[in-house]
Amino acid sequence: MESRVLSGATVRGLALPSKPAARLTGYCNLPAVRLTGRLSDGGNLVCGRQLRPALLLEASHSAASPVAKREILRPCSAAASSPSEGGDSAGAAKVGFFEKYPWLVTGFFFFMWYFLNVIFNILNKKIYNYFPYPYFVSLIHLFVGVVYCLISWTVGLPKRAPIDSNILKLLIPVAVCHALGHVTSNVSFAAVAVSFTHTVKALEPFFNAAASQFILGQQIPLSLWLSLAPVVIGVSMASLTELSFNWVGFVSAMISNISFTYRSIYSKKAMTDMDSTNLYAYISIIALIVCIPPAIILEGPQLLKHGFNDAIAKVGLTKFITDLFWVGMFYHLYNQLATNTLERVAPLTHAVGNVLKRVFVIGFSILVFGNKISLQTGIGTSIAIAGVAMYSFIKAKIEEEKRQLKSA
C-alpha cells in the first residue's frame, strides 16, 4: 500500500479513509503526522514521540484488507502533559506573576483611578483660580481625550471598532447627556469648593432611583429609598452652612446629577457589542462637537478680549498650555481607568470603590486648598457619604441576587 502524508509522525499498518487529514484534525490537534509503511510492517502511530492521539481510525474497505480494523488510541494531550509517559512538559503554559496574584493588578487599577481622579480635581480647581472659564476648560478636557483616542487608533492600541448610522443614533443621546453633565460639573467646580460640588453630586443615586422608578418603570425596593434619606439630609445640612455656597455652583451640580442620570438611561438603551474603550472614544468625539458652540457663544468674546491674556500674564504661556494639556489627560485617563477597574470587580466592590473615591477627593481637596468648613457642613457631608455607601451596598446586593437567579 502506498504511504499517505498527513502531518508530522508516522502511522504504519493502517488503511485510512480518502481524507485522513480532515479526520485527524476533527478529533485532535496533532503537531505533525505522517503515514508510511505497509500493512505487513505492523507499524506505529507517533504523536511527537509517543503513541497518543485520541482517534478512532477505521480501516478502509480495500481488497488488501478483508477485515476492517479499529484502533482506539489515547489522547495526545495526555502525552504532552504527562512527563512520565514521555510528554514534553516544557510547552505547558506558565502561570505569570500577575495571573497568580490578580488582586495586585486590581489594587493597582484602584490606586491609579483614585490618584488620577484626585490630581484631576486639584489641577482643575487650580486652573479655575486663574482662568475662570469652565466651558472652554471642559472643551479642552474632551479635546485632549479625543486626540489621545485618535493616536491610539492610529497605532492600533486598541483597534478602532467600526461604527454605522444605527449605532451613531444610539450614541448621540448618551454623548449629549455626557457633555451637559461634564460642562455643568465644571461650572460648579469653578463657582464653589471642590468638596461642596462632590457633596452635592452625592445625590446622583437619588436621581438614578427616581428615574428608574418613574421613567423606566422599574420597581425600586423600599430599603433603597430609605437608604437615600441620609443622603438628602446630609447634603441639605452641608449646603445650609457651606462657606463657599452660591446658587450657580449648587444648581450646576444638580443639573449635572440629572444629566448623568439620563446618560445612564440612554446607555442602557444603547447597549452594543463594542468594547468600552471604543465606546467611550466615540462618545467623547460626539460630546466634543456638542461642547464647541456654547464655549464659543458664551465665553468666546471674553476669551479673545482678555481671558487668554490675563491667564498668560498670571502664570506664563508655558504653564498655561501645560496645565490645560495635563488636566485633559488626567480627565481622560481617570475615566478610562475607572471603566477598566470596574470591569474587573464585583458589584459590591464597585460600590465600595465609588464611595471611597468621593471620600478621597473631598478629603484631599480640603487639605490642598485649605478650605474652611463649618462643623455642620462636615457632619452633613459625612452623613451624605454614609447614605451613599448604604445605598450602594444594598443595590449591589440586589444586583448580585438578580445575577444569581439569571444564572440559575
For the segment 87-110, what is each residue's pLDDT rounded down to a tens digit? 444 444 566 666 777 778 788 888
pLDDT at 9 over 60: no
For residue 344, what are the contacts with CB-CB under 8 A and spacing of at least 6?
105, 106, 109
Contact predicate 205/228, CB 8 Å: yes
More confident residue, 342 or 123: 123
* Closest of 394, 396, 403 to residue 347, by C-alpha: 396
pLDDT at 1 over 90: no
Contact predicate 313/168, CB 8 Å: no
Q: Mean of the pLDDT values across residues 222-244?
A: 87
- pTM metric for this prediction: 0.69
Report the 10 Å Cβ neighbour count for 27.
15
* Closest of 198, 126, 235, 240 to residue 359, by C-alpha: 198
Q: Is 324 helix (H, G, I), strand (E, B) or coil?
A: helix
CA atoms of 344 and 338, how far apart (whole Å): 10
Q: Is 34 helix (H, G, I), strand (E, B) or coil?
A: strand
CA atoms of 289 and 298, how far apart (whole Å): 15
pLDDT at 272 over 80: no
User: What is the 8-class DSSP label of residue 27?
Assistant: H
pLDDT at 323 over 80: yes
